[in-house]
Amino acid sequence: MKTDLMKYFTLLLAVVLISCGKSETIEESNEPGSSDKQKNLTLNKIDSVSKPKNVVFILSDDHRYDFMGFTGKVPFLETPNMDRMGTKGVHFKNAFVTTSLCSPSRASILTGQFSHHHGVVDNQSAVADSVTFFPQYLQEAGYKTGYVGKWHMGEHHAGARPGFDYWVSFRGQGVYYNPTLNVNGTEKVYSDSSYITDLITEYSLDFLKEQNNQQPFFLYVSHKGVHSEFQPAERHADEYAGKDPQYPPTMNPKVTGSSDIYYNYEDVPKWVKEQRYSWHGVDYMYHGQIKFDDFYRRYLETLLSVDESIGEILDYLEEEGLLENTIVFYMGDNGFSFGEHGLIDKRHAYEESIRVPLLLYGAQHMGEEGKDIEKMVQNIDIAPSILHMAGLDKPENMDGKSFVPLLHGQEIDWRERIYYEYFWERPFPQTPTTYAVRTDKYKYIRYHGIWDINELYNLEEDPWEANNLIRNPEYKEIAKNLNQDLFEWLKETNGLHIPVRKDYGTKIDHKYKGTY
């Protein structure tokens, strides 16, 4: 087992270094549409909020929306602390990202803006100086703010970014074991098999121990787990050995077994069929170096320490009586496919990629216990919502909207569709530039720059997105309207441009290996 783990670690460390373009960080600023030069950090107050809430925002990496114990998706998976949040707090059952990739999504969370607005469109771009992170407004309003964990927007340093009084982070993706951390400006090198998730928990608790009920606080806990070099804590290694993964019905071109779904493989885009045999496809995943079943089990094992971390933070807040005025968030930065459409990873606009877990706890401020919210919310809503909890109105340049009224069961004008964008990047050339619009019932996906078929799904009848209806005459008007709607959104939000970055990094591309 140890040898296997070492091999796995070495391989995936290489992947991480490559996928992050570590040696060639692109630092660009003032891209069209990304500029918000105004730095007035004073926001209007919301009178109805009598006392600013403390907020702990816990983010995990690549955790898909349904892999939690209480959803029942994976029968043997146990996540008691996510279950505690999901069943006693608030479960947003329809939470989505606007771009399913680490850095762009993280930037959207921190700014309340679409990727084409904040300008972080890939995993290499740094954030322009003109961009404002919502904790900067909290600081201005008198909050004590802390950041612990993965930042991953610009790889050149691990130092403190604007908006935080307390700072613990690392460069880029970091590592699971023996990390080098920047702890409030001091480099700390671990060499004692310290595990990153546990360190993030410890530093988070250190911050919380300095807080009280006198000054409001905000803590951003940003996990490395469960990003794709999946390495569980030693105490969880092999926890799920021998457990069988569930293979989704679209994993193979011909549906087999007990599934009775109709898989319209003829109308699967060519790029999806090709990606099956690539770094991010089930037929040649990680170029043959990892087996699907092991990959699946390690992901779940790695998730266990994230769940424990949530539990430690909840326990501390409860024991200290801080939960009275504190709201805890748990969210993923993007989803992850495990075989759906023959794919692994994220980026694309299928459900497993764009959906994320989103749970809130501290329910005494949010109505009855164990509330499910069906309305579609997105990563761009986090910043306006947390500002709302602090009694602050969102700034005009945020694209998202506070979902706090939904927590209180208020009838408000809410979005009926969500939009999605992903921009092609050189290290993983298998996935094209993608736009999508999704309603409660339909999803329209449009690809840019390739000669391929677009997609339309009836999600109510076809939750697996197995029957592309784009060529079905009965759905032609629906596709046309959604297409028009998509482009109206892009026009209205200044998104009618494709951001191009300087060429960088290594293509993870076995077909045209070594070429420029």
Residues of this chain that interact with Ca ion (CB under 5 A) are 61-62, 102, 333-334
Minimal distance, residue 333 CB to Ca ion, in Å? 4
Indicate the residue among 170 and 475 with the shorter CB distance to Ca ion. Answer: 170
Minimal distance, residue 223 CB to Ca ion, in Å? 10
Which residue is at the shortest CB distance from Ca ion? 102
Minimal distance, residue 281 CB to Ca ion, in Å? 19
Return the amino acid letter for 35.
S
Minimal distance, residue 494 CB to Ca ion, in Å? 25
Return the amino acid letter for 45.
K
Whether residue 226 has a cis bond before it, omega within 30° of 0: yes
Cα 494 from Cα 34, distance rounded (Å): 10
| Other C-beta atoms lying within 10 Å of the C-beta of residue 467 | 17
227-260: b or e for each residue (b if 16 or more CB lie within 10 Å)? bbbbbbbeebbebbeeeebebbbbbbeebeeeee
* CB 21 within 8 Å of CB 125: no
CA distances from 54 to 201, 300, 371, 387, 389 (A): 18, 30, 20, 11, 8
Indicate the residue among 61 and 399 with the shorter CB distance to Ca ion. Answer: 61
Minimal distance, residue 314 CB to Ca ion, in Å? 23
Minimal distance, residue 229 CB to Ca ion, in Å? 12
Indicate the residue among 334 and 379 with the shorter CB distance to Ca ion. Answer: 334
Indicate the residue among 286 and 457 with the shorter CB distance to Ca ion. Answer: 286
Minimal distance, residue 214 CB to Ca ion, in Å? 36
Cα 327 from Cα 425, distance rounded (Å): 36
CB-based contacts of 282: which residues, under 8 Å, 6+ apart? 251, 276, 292, 339, 342, 343, 344
Collapsing DSSP to helix, strand or coil, 108 comes out as helix
Minimal distance, residue 62 CB to Ca ion, in Å? 4
Minimal distance, residue 100 CB to Ca ion, in Å? 8
Cα 300 from Cα 311, distance rounded (Å): 17
Separation of CA 412 from chain center? 26
Indicate the residue among 334 and 385 with the shorter CB distance to Ca ion. Answer: 334
Indicate the residue among 333 and 465 with the shorter CB distance to Ca ion. Answer: 333
Cα 260 from Cα 258, distance rounded (Å): 6
Q: Tokens at residue 321, please? A: 């009586």
| Bridge pairing between strands 54-60 and 326-332 | parallel
* CB 275 within 8 Å of CB 458: no
| Other C-beta atoms lying within 10 Å of the C-beta of residue 281 | 22
Indicate the residue among 127 and 469 with the shorter CB distance to Ca ion. Answer: 127
Sign of CA dihedral 343, 349, 350, 353: positive
Minimal distance, residue 106 CB to Ca ion, in Å? 8
Indicate the residue among 62 and 301 with the shorter CB distance to Ca ion. Answer: 62
Angle, CA of 380, 64 and 163, to the nearest 5°: 35
Minimal distance, residue 332 CB to Ca ion, in Å? 8
Indicate the residue among 104 and 391 with the shorter CB distance to Ca ion. Answer: 104
Indicate the residue among 331 and 486 with the shorter CB distance to Ca ion. Answer: 331
Indicate the residue among 100 and 145 with the shorter CB distance to Ca ion. Answer: 100
